[in-house]
């Protein structure tokens, strides 16, 4: 078995969650934000819906599900931050 491409997500309580993404560089280059969210949902407690969290990498919010992770500069072992969406907040 080859390399497993992963990202690290800093969770809501400061815990680090390692998310397995794929096995090849080609898959990694085409991995979308939506696919990341789907993989992440497998590791989150059921009471935290994936629609209730926002993912941030460096200073960018990962808000476009169809964009590839490479659009945001995300690579193997990049560190993302997960924050809760605030009810009633303005969507930019």
Backbone angles phi, psi at 71, to 5 degrees: -60, -35
Which run of H or of E encompasses 82? Answer: strand 79-84
| Average pLDDT of the residues in 66-92 | 86
Domains of the chain and any CATH numbers: 5-84 (3.10.20.90)
pLDDT band at 21 (very low <50, low <70, confident <90, very high): very high
Token output for 34: 């939506």
Name the more confident of 78 and 3: 78
Name the more confident of 89 and 54: 54
Q: Which residues contact 58 (CB under 8 A, 6 or more apart)?
A: 72, 73
Query: pLDDT tens digit string along 24-78?
Result: 999 999 999 999 999 988 887 765 665 678 999 999 999 999 999 999 999 999 9
The pLDDT score that the predictor gives to residue 89 is 58
The pLDDT score that the predictor gives to residue 62 is 95
């Amino acid at each position: 078995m080859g390399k497993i491409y992963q990202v690290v997500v800093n969770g809501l309580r400061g815990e680090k969650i390692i998310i397995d993404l794929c096995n090849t560089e080609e898959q990694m280059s085409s991995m979308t934000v939506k696919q990341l969210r789907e993989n992440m949902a497998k590791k989150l407690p059921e009471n935290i819906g994936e629609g209730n969290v926002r993912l941030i990498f460096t200073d960018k919010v990962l808000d476009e599900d169809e964009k590839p992770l490479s659009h945001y500069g995300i690579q193997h072992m990049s560190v993302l931050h997960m924050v809760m969406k605030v009810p009633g907040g303005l969507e930019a």
